[in-house]
A = this chain, B = another copy of it.
């Protein structure tokens, strides 16, 4: 069902594809499509719960003496490890998410729990609360950096996703204040 919708989005564009088009393409009523996806935006995200669970698992595995930046970077990169055959669909999804304004905005909402997990981890490590300014800055900027790496990966067909994520996160962790100095 999501495959059919993805194909329609790719062929005709996201905004141009109506829920009726999708319903007709799948061979089901419009109402039923809304039973499986809470919104048109949500169709583009796949089983995001899995990625989130993987992030949590990798964070939990981090040894206590590992520096915070390394722990987060490794966990984010590792949780975005995909089989080669999964990449084309992921690329299609991310191409939409990073280019369609409505989806770009929706990612803020979709990644909320993901950021929450990260903030919890930071709070655990630094001994504060998840809603402290510092923990929130870490969570927000890590997500922003990951999104940036995805944008870059989508634009460069030959690029390696994990390598891009790692590279971008290293820049963030090292501090962007001294760049070029």
State the A residues within 8 Å of B (CB): 67-70, 73, 101, 104-109, 122, 125-127, 131, 133-134, 136-138, 140-145, 147-149, 151-152, 155, 164, 167-168, 171-181
Contact = CB atoms under 8 A, between A and B. Distances in A.
A-side interface mostly = helix
A76 B101 CA distance: 24
Most B CB atoms within 10 A — which of A131, A137, A173, A174? Answer: A137
Nearest to A168: B137
A100 to B, nearest CB: 10
20 contacts: A68-B177, A69-B176, A104-B108, A105-B108, A108-B108, A125-B179, A127-B180, A131-B155, A133-B152, A134-B171, A136-B148, A136-B152, A137-B176, A138-B179, A140-B147, A141-B141, A172-B175, A172-B176, A173-B177, A174-B177
A41 to B, nearest CB: 9
A101 B109 contact: yes
B140 A144 contact: yes
A179 B126 contact: yes
Nearest to A69: B177
Nearest to A176: B138
A126 B138 CA distance: 24
A109 to B, nearest CB: 5
A150 B143 CA distance: 17
Given A134-B171, A136-B151, A137-B145, 5 more contacts: A68-B176, A69-B177, A133-B148, A140-B145, A141-B141
